[in-house]
Chain A
Amino acid sequence: MTRTVMIDVENLTKRYGRFVALDGISFQAVEGEILGFLGPNGAGKTTTMRILTGYTPPTSGRASVAGFDVFDDSLEMRRHVGYLPETVPLYRDMTVRGYVDYIAQLHGIADRRRRVDEVLEQVGMHDRQRSLIRTLSKGMRQRVGLAQALVHDPEVLILDEPTIGLDPQQVQDVRRLIHTLGERRTVLLSTHILSEAEQLCDRIAIIDRGRIIAVGTPAELQSQLQRGRRLFVRVGSGVSTNDMLRLIKAVPGVEQVQAERGGYVVTVRDGADARPALASAIVGHGAALLELRPLALTLEEMFLEFTTRAESPSRRQ
């Protein structure tokens, strides 16, 4: 079954004066897919989203959402997109219901009463519908923002940093909500939290300085990063740190070792799996091996990894 392409971006460029915010990016997202934009601040995530919602036109390139060109059919395209900007756009002096109802009216929704009820139920704000928005907590405001983006039942949802500034419980709630929403719709969300992208997204696009430097499923991206992998080792007491460092350093395949976080962080050479040798060396020395696990890449490391890769071929040219 081929799935319809809902977001189609081709060679999109955006310049602000001399500053190049987007440097010819291309990607696609199909229906029922959650695509995550992962990147540092100023990488071009928000700019891309603003182009895809018709807020700002691209300098060059082409983009269409739900089959409508973002520039030529801007008004029609906006009917099919729900957008939650990073600063949740709320009228603080309106009630939750009044606000969502107002947005529904602007969208020209036929069965408004029912739809507003439905969407407030969906984001879990139905019992607070009479509250003034100014009295709500950050998490609740985020939900109201989502309700606004959902009220016209759009095929495409664009969410800019939907979990930023929420407490852990709220983050989980919002993620669960997005996950449900993504079953039927195309969701494009941006984040700078790697674990969030891994947990939520079907595919991740890593974006840096206006360019997409890697796209793939979370598993694909991780496997691309096998080289230079790091292991974390913890041993029982009784062996001096210096002995241990010397011992680990001698294991074939080990490039570097550091005592850190109550254990040892071992950097393994490209392609080598040093774990069996490491384990037997430690146990053979008479120490108790308490822990041996790969260290997950932090976002910073992942970036460094991908950005240096993206740069080196261009340097060669």
Chain B
Amino acid sequence: MRSMRLIARRELAQFFTSPIAYLVAFAILVLTGFMFNSDLAQRVGKAPPDGTYVLGVFGFFTVFFAPLLTMRLFAEETREGTLELMLTMPVRDSDIVLGKFLGAWAYYSAILALTLVYPISLMAVTQPKPFEAVGQLDIGPVISSYIGIWLFGGAALAIGLTFSALTENQVIAGFLGIAVLFVLWLADFAGQVVQNQTVAEAIRALSLQAHYSTSFLIGVIRFEDVVFFIGLIVVMLFITTRVLESRRWR
């Protein structure tokens, strides 16, 4: 437990000592900023403000940038030889995996927290004024979306982490992570490609969008979606621990 916390803390600090973390944060803010602005411009005077629009986009971004955050976590340590050190320290393998995962998730949460600027500014510009035609911000879906994207991010990081443990090449780890997440993201469209309804529904059950975009994002918190993401995290972290253990035998 203690070592897990130490490892998580070091990983989090590592994100902030490397320039990549700041670049990612910068890029995310610029992109979501554009989205927010154009969406808001279209709505002014026509539709009520949508506090979840940016988070919908953020979900798609997560597919690409979660593996970028996790790709070095194990791949780099394997290459630098520090993994050999960690595996001979009085630390459990699962503590190493959990520590790295929690460090990455904490960083993801920090970036996610930056996007709070959008709902807050929406709240500021839509003060309840009884005679205004356009409605005020519906805060409910915003809260459920944040819960959803946070869990989604955790699952995406867990998948990325697994690939980082599988290879010592960061680029391959990152690429495979993005590829898998992208396929899972697009699995929502299985019905358009697969004729067999049962198969299509089975594929869609694994889709990231189905568990996020059409539930959390529209203000619904369903038990099965929460279980899906938490289950995905647990399973991927378990696999990562096994992969790490298998290094001992090779």
Would B6 and A102 count as touching, CB distance under 8 A? Answer: yes
How far, in whole Å, are A108 and B2 apart by their CA atoms in the complex? 9
Residue from A53, A91, A93, A102 within 8 A of B88 (CB atoms):
A53
Q: 11 pairs across A/B with beta carbons < 8 Å?
A: A54-B87, A85-B81, A90-B82, A91-B14, A92-B80, A102-B6, A106-B3, A106-B7, A106-B90, A106-B91, A107-B90
Is B249 close to A, CB under 8 A? yes
Please tell me if the beta carbons of A75 and B80 are within 8 angstroms of each other in the complex. Answer: no
Q: Which residues from chain B sit less than 8 Å from chain A, CB to CB?
A: 2-3, 6-7, 10, 14, 17-18, 80-85, 87-92, 248-250
Do A93 and B82 have beta carbons less than 8 Å apart? no
Residue of chain B at shortest CB distance from A108: B2
A60 at the binding interface (Cβ < 8 Å)? no
Among candidates A16, A57, A89, residue contacting B85 with C-beta atoms closer than 8 Å = A89
Contacts of A102 in B (CB 8 A): 6, 10
Binding site for B on A (CB under 8 A): 16, 50, 53-57, 75-76, 78-79, 81, 83, 85, 87-93, 102-103, 105-108, 148
On chain A, the residues within 8 Å of B14 by CB distance are 91, 93
- Shortest distance from the beta carbon of A60 to any chain B beta carbon, whole Å: 14
- Give B32 Cβ to nearest chain A Cβ, in Å: 28
Instruction: Select the residue from A55, A91, A92, A106 with max chain B CB neighbours within 10 A.
Output: A106
B83 neighbours in A (Cβ, 8 Å): 89
Q: Are A106 and B84 in contact (CB under 8 A)?
A: no
* Chain B, Cβ-Cβ closest to A81: B88
| Given A90-B82, A93-B14, A102-B6, A76 and B90 contact (CB-CB distance below 8 Å) | yes
- Cα A92 to Cα B7 with chains together (Å): 16
Residues of B within 8 A of A88 (CB): 81
Residue of B nearest to A16 (CB): B250
Which B residues are in CB contact (< 8 Å) with A81? 88
Minimum distance in angstroms from A105 CB to a CB of chain B: 5
- Cα of A87 to Cα of B80 in the assembled complex, Å: 8
Closest beta carbon of chain A to B7's beta carbon, Å: 8
Question: In this complex, what residue of B is CB-closest to A77?
Answer: B90
Please state if A55 and B88 are interface contacts (CB–CB under 8 Å).
Answer: yes
Q: Which residue of A lies closest to B87 (CB)?
A: A55
Question: With A93-B17, A105-B6 in contact, do A55 and B90 touch (Cβ < 8 Å)?
Answer: no
A81 to B90 alpha-carbon distance, docked (Å): 10
Contact flag A55-B80 (CB < 8 Å), given A75-B92, A78-B89, A89-B85:
no
- Let me know if B249 and A57 touch, CB within 8 A: yes
Inter-subunit contact B85/A85 (CB<8 Å) = yes
Q: In the complex, which residue of chain A has the Cβ closest to the Cβ of B250?
A: A16
Closest to B91 in A: A106
